């Protein structure tokens, strides 16, 4: 018997860097501890996310969630906008 495992949804918070048509580029920053020196290093990764509303502004904070591919590069969609 094989049991289905509950997949943990991949939700990340980031800032909008570019917004054009249905594509929004979101930068997610994370801190990683250096294995030898112990210093925390900031890593940034850009993700293309699908935006149905097309109303996200550059500099705004959003949450993105993993989803089936919308196109060759878009593997995320915008879940919600975070207000300041």
Closest CA to 28 of 9, 10, 43: 43
11-82 adopts what CATH topology?
A: OB fold (Dihydrolipoamide Acetyltransferase, E2P) (2.40.50)
Other beta carbons within 10 Å of 49: 27
Q: Which three-class secondary structure state does DSSP give residue 50?
A: strand
* pTM of the entire predicted model: 0.81
The tally of CA atoms less than 13 A away on the side-chain side of residue 55 is 3
Band the pLDDT of 16: cuts 50, 70, 90.
very high
- Residue 5's pLDDT is what? 56
- The domains of the chain are located at 11-82
22-63 residue pLDDT tens: 899 999 999 999 999 999 999 999 999 999 888 889 999 999
Give the number of other CB atoms < 10 A from CB of residue 59: 10
- Measured CA to CA, the distance from residue 29 to residue 14 in angstroms comes to 7
């Amino acid at each position: 018997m094989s049991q289905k495992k509950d997949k943990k949804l991949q939700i990340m918070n980031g800032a909008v860097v570019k917004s054009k048509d249905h594509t929004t580029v979101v930068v997610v920053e994370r801190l990683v501890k250096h294995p030898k020196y112990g210093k925390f290093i900031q890593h940034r990764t850009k993700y293309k996310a699908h935006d149905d509303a097309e109303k996200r502004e550059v500099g705004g904070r959003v949450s993105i969630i993993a989803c089936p591919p919308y196109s060759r590069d878009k593997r995320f969609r915008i879940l919600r906008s975070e207000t300041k």
